Each structure stands twice: as C-alpha cells, then as structure tokens.
C-alpha cells in the first residue's frame, strides 16, 4: 500500500498584480506533515507549478496508483472562475485553479480535474486539501500583523485574460479590483464529483479564507491550524474527527472562516490517510 502526495504552492503570479505570501510555506508545511506520516512527497512551488507541470504530476500520481494506495494533493494559490462551456454548472461558471503561468497558459478548470480523478483505479483513496479560492464567493486574503497589505486569493479574469477575451457581462471592469462574482457554486464543485473523494477546504461559501503572519512567517490560517489539529489526533481518528479538531481553532475573531469537510458518510468515518 503506497502513500504518495503532491504539494503545490504558488505565491508568484507574474503580470497579474495578484502575488501572495504564504502559499509556498503552506506547501512546505503540508509536505513536512505528510513525510512524517510516511508519504512519498513531491512539490511544485512557484515557477515550477506551471499548468503543464501540475496536470502532468496529478496525472502521473493517479495513473501509477493501485488499489489501497493513499493519495493526497494539496493546493495553495489563487483560484478563479470561467464561463461554463458544457452546461454542467447551475451558476454558469466553472471553478478553476491558477497555475504560475496563468497569464500565458490559462487556468485548470474543474472539468479537467474531474477527468483526471475519474481515471484512478478502484480502491485508490484520494484526499484533496485546498487553502485557496475555487469559487467567486470563497476568497483568500493576505494580511500582516498590522492588518495591512490585504490580498484575496481570487484571481479576476481581467487579471489574466486578454481584455478582448473577457466576457464583459460576467467580469465587469478590467482591473486588479474586479469584484468577485456573487452566487458562485460551492467550493466542493471543483473536486467532489467522483465518488470516494474527500475534500478539506479552508472556508465555506461567502467567507474569506485568510492568511497572516503566524509565529513570525506567512501562512494560510487553515493550513496552519489543520496541521496543528492533525498533530493532536489519535491513531484511529477519522476525517470527521480531524475536521472537528480544526473547528476548535477556526473560526476565530481574527480568522472568521469555517473550514469544510466534503465527503460521503462512509468516507467521513475513514481513518485519516488510510
């Protein structure tokens, strides 16, 4: 039974005015936690986390996994949305991940992730952990201890698409201050379409998913407290137990976000990383 993980962290988004601070730290922290639990971990950080690299690494991870293997994929970076092209989204929008080269290569839409996940063999366990925005109403802001320099981990289309390509009725004004859309679908839409998946997300719809200076370094609040909670779990703890342990820390006065667990009743009762 193999244990493999891919940890992705992107702070640098050239040409978009949407650079972040804590995503690489998030990825390294997840990697350390997973190595401590006997996972073979690969990392894609900043300029290495291109669209081709992310798709290729996820494809390779899934294609080589066998029954009873445990896979973990973590992503910290910007999310965005694009107009739905195949009519499978009630709100008319596909959620998407923003790779490092989003400005030149575009996004990774939820339908592409769905296709990759659907290729895994029966009995392969897959956990996705997201500390980022995947719909218009789930954002990530970055702040220092003084509360300044805030950033949202939502990438407006006007920041990475050409002005000619942006659908005006959906995106509005082209600038770094484009308002995130309202009424976007829930964040589990990106990753929960194949039965058996478990998704841990940093916040619920309509909330901010925040990062700040924690113990002297930039971190996603969800990542920091999820790993802190993980260290307190008993060996037979389930995903439901882990989620409840995280909720002891979040939401808080400083980070008013409610981490979410999306899984079937059966998967909620599975032992963490089993």
Between residues 139 and 88, the one the model is more confident about: 88
pLDDT tens-digit readout, 221-269: 899 999 999 999 999 999 999 999 999 999 988 888 899 998 888 999 9
What confidence tens digit (pLDDT) does each residue in 151-199 have?
A: 556 666 767 777 767 665 544 443 343 444 444 344 444 444 444 578 8
Classify burial at 85, counting beta carbons within 10 Å of its beta carbon; exposed 0-12, middle 13-18, buried 19 or more.
Answer: exposed
pLDDT of residue 134: 53
Does domain 3-268 fall into CATH 3.40.50.1460?
A: yes
Residue 22: what pLDDT? 93
Q: Domain extents for the chain?
A: 3-268
Q: How many whole angstroms separate alpha carbon 24 and alpha carbon 32?
A: 12
Is residue 103 within 8 Å of residue 14, measured between CB atoms?
yes
Please name the residue that has the structure tokens 């916040």.
203
Tokens of 206: 């309509």
Task: Calculate the CA 207 to chain-centre distance.
Answer: 15
- What confidence tens digit (pLDDT) does each residue in 83-124 have? 755 444 444 467 788 999 999 999 988 888 888 888 999 999
Average pLDDT over the chain, rounded to whole? 80
Could you tell me if residue 206 is left (phi over 0), alpha (psi between -120 and 50 degrees) or otherwise beta?
left
* CA distance linking residue 185 with residue 170, whole number of Å: 14
Sign (positive or negative) of CA dihedral 181, 263, 121, 27: positive
**Best CA proximity match to 73, nearest among 201, 169, 233, 170:** 201
Predicted model pTM: 0.83
């Amino acid at each position: 039974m193999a244990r493999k993980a891919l940890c992705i962290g992107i702070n640098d988004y050239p040409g978009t005015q949407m650079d972040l601070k804590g995503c690489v730290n998030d990825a390294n922290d997840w990697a350390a936690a997973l190595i401590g639990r006997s996972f073979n971990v690969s990392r894609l950080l900043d300029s290495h986390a291109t669209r081709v690299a992310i798709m290729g690494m996820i494809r390779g991870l899934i294609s080589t996994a066998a029954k009873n293997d445990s896979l973990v994929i973590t992503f910290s970076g910007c999310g965005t949305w694009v107009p739905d092209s195949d009519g499978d989204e009630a709100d008319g929008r596909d959620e998407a991940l923003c790779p490092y080269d989003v400005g030149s290569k575009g996004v990774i839409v939820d339908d592409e992730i769905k296709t990759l996940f659907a290729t895994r063999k029966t009995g392969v366990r897959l956990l996705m952990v997201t500390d980022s925005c995947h719909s218009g109403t789930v954002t990530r802001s970055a702040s220092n201890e003084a509360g300044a320099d805030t950033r949202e981990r939502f990438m407006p289309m006007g920041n990475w698409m050409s002005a000619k390509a942006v659908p005006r009725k959906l995106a509005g004004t082209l600038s770094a201050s484009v308002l995130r859309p309202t009424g976007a679908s829930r964040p589990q839409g990106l990753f929960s379409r194949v039965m058996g998946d478990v998704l841990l997300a940093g916040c619920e719809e309509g909330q901010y998913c925040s990062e700040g200076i924690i113990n002297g370094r930039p971190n996603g609040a969800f990542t920091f407290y999820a790993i802190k909670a993980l260290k307190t779990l008993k060996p037979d703890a389930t995903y439901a137990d882990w989620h409840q342990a995280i909720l002891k820390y979040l939401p808080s006065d400083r980070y008013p976000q409610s981490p979410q667990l999306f899984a079937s009743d059966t998967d909620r009762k599975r032992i963490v990383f089993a």
